Each structure stands twice: as structure tokens, then as C-alpha cells.
């Protein structure tokens, strides 16, 4: 009987000790222990740039409007500087401006009798023109009233009767001995007569503002002939 009581006391003591241990306060965690969340989100790293699936339509480049000649009927512009006795024939550049020098010729003019300004060539042209005071000229193109662009003077309407004094003499090309006309070698007068249609502009200025120059007229090699008159020298006039 005493053994049973002893066993009972021992069991009661064990039970009491176990119950006391279960109700004990939890041990405080040290400050340096950090709780770990089991749901950690991995860091976001930059990935490749997304490529749009739709290819944009190419931008249409407009076709430039071609430049057209605003005045196709007049390929040349004539410019005279009285100070240097020079005629410059201008042609057109790629923008159809008169900037290209085609040819430059020595001329004679009439000093103050030759007007300045911008004139339009007449279509009323004469293969030969005889002046009231004497002398004839080839390829006469009126530019203002009774004033002409023309060749040297001849004793008659005959290309074999050139007057030397009005070609390279004291009243010749390169002087101011005309009645207001512009006198030049036959080659130049013929070019204007045949290649510069009615309405072609002729500008005449005093002095030498652009500094234009021109060569002396070629010397006479065959008496009575203008050396630039290839038709007459070839017998085809």
C-alpha cells in the first residue's frame, strides 16, 4: 500500500513539474536575429527592349518638282558696257538664270547718242541695211527706234567692199563713232540676227561696272572682207 502511494506521489510531482514548464514565458529573441520572410520577391532585372510586332509604314519622300525654264523662247541676254566697248552674250545656267558667258565682242557705239537702259530686240530685221548718210551694214537688228545692232560698214550691199576705217580704223570698232547704233564684227551681228529672237533683252550701261573686257577685232587678211565673215570668205554669201 505504501508503494502505491509512493508511486502516486512521484507521478503527481512529475505531472506538476511538466505543467509548470508548459506555462513558462518564451525566451526573448536576441536583437540581432532578423525574421526571414519565406515569400521573398526576387529583384527585378532589366531585360531586352521589347520590339514592336508591327513594322511602321515607310515615310513617302515627295518627288521634287522639276525646275522649268520660265522663258524658253529667249535663250540669251545681251549686255553692253559702253566704258569698255564690250558686248557680253549671256546664256542660261541650270537654274535658267543668265549667268553663263557665251561670247564677248568689241563694239563701237555712239557715246551719248547711244541710250542706256533695257531694250527688247525687234523682229523687223534686215539682211542688209543702207543708211541715209551712206554705207551699208549686214545683219541689222533694231533695238530702239531707228537704232540697230549691225556689222561693220560697206561701200554697198556687198560683203567684198568693207570700209577699213569703220572696221579697225580711226572710226572703227572700239570707238564711239556711230549715230547711236551698236557696230560689231559680222560674226557677232549675225549671231544676234539669227539666234536672238524678237523680245530678247539688251541692257546698255555707262562705264564699266562689271569690269567686262573683250579682245581687239582680228586684223583684215583679205582686202575688202571682214575676217569673221566666214560666209563671204567661203564664197557662200
Q: Give the CATH number for residue 209.
A: 2.40.440.10
Q: Is 115 inside any structural domain? A: yes
Distance CA 126, CA 38 (A): 113
Q: Sorting pLDDT into bands at 50, 70 and 90, what band is 29?
A: very low
Domain hosting 149: range is 77-233
Q: Is 54 inside any structural domain? A: no
pLDDT of 35 strictly over 70: no
pLDDT of 15 strictly over 70: no
pTM of the model: 0.73
Q: Count the domains in the chain.
A: 1
Q: Sorting pLDDT into bands at 50, 70 and 90, what band is 32?
A: very low
Q: Is 12 inside any structural domain? A: no
pLDDT of 65 strictly over 90: no
List Cβ neighbours of 118 (8 Å cut-off, separation of 6 or more). 201, 202, 203
Q: Is 55 inside any structural domain? A: no
Residue 7 pLDDT: 60
CA atoms within 13 A on the CB side of 34: 3
pLDDT of 11 strictly over 90: no
Q: Is 17 inside any structural domain? A: no
Q: Is 1 inside any structural domain? A: no
Residues 187-233 pLDDT 10s: 999 999 999 999 999 999 999 999 999 999 999 999 999 999 999 99
Tell me the pLDDT of the chain averaged across its residues: 85
Q: Is 136 inside any structural domain? A: yes
Residue 58 pLDDT: 74
In the chain, what percentage of residues exceed pLDDT 70?
75
Q: Is 98 inside any structural domain? A: yes
Amino acid at each position: 500500500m505504501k508503494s502505491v502511494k509512493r508511486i502516486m506521489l512521484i507521478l503527481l510531482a512529475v505531472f506538476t513539474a511538466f505543467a509548470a514548464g508548459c506555462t513558462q514565458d518564451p525566451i526573448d529573441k536576441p536583437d540581432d536575429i532578423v525574421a526571414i520572410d519565406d515569400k521573398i520577391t526576387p529583384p527585378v532585372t532589366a531585360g531586352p527592349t521589347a520590339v514592336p510586332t508591327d513594322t511602321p509604314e515607310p515615310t513617302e519622300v515627295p518627288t521634287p518638282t522639276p525646275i522649268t525654264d520660265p522663258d524658253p523662247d529667249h535663250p540669251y541676254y545681251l549686255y553692253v558696257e559702253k566704258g569698255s566697248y564690250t558686248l557680253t552674250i549671256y546664256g542660261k545656267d541650270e537654274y535658267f538664270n543668265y549667268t553663263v558667258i557665251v561670247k564677248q565682242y568689241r563694239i563701237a557705239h555712239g557715246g551719248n547718242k547711244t541710250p542706256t537702259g533695257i531694250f527688247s530686240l525687234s523682229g523687223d530685221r534686215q539682211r542688209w541695211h543702207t543708211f541715209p548718210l551712206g554705207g551699208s551694214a549686214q545683219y541689222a537688228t533694231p533695238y530702239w527706234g531707228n537704232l540697230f545692232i549691225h556689222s561693220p560698214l560697206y561701200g554697198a550691199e556687198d560683203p567684198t567692199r568693207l570700209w577699213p576705217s569703220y572696221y579697225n580704223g580711226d572710226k572703227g570698232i572700239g570707238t564711239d563713232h556711230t549715230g547711236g547704233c551698236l557696230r560689231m564684227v559680222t560674226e557677232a551681228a549675225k549671231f544676234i540676227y539669227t539666234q536672238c529672237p524678237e523680245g530678247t533683252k539688251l541692257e546698255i550701261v555707262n562705264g564699266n561696272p562689271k569690269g567686262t573686257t573683250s579682245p581687239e577685232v582680228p586684223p583684215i587678211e583679205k582686202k575688202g572682207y571682214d575676217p569673221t565673215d566666214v560666209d563671204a570668205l567661203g564664197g557662200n554669201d
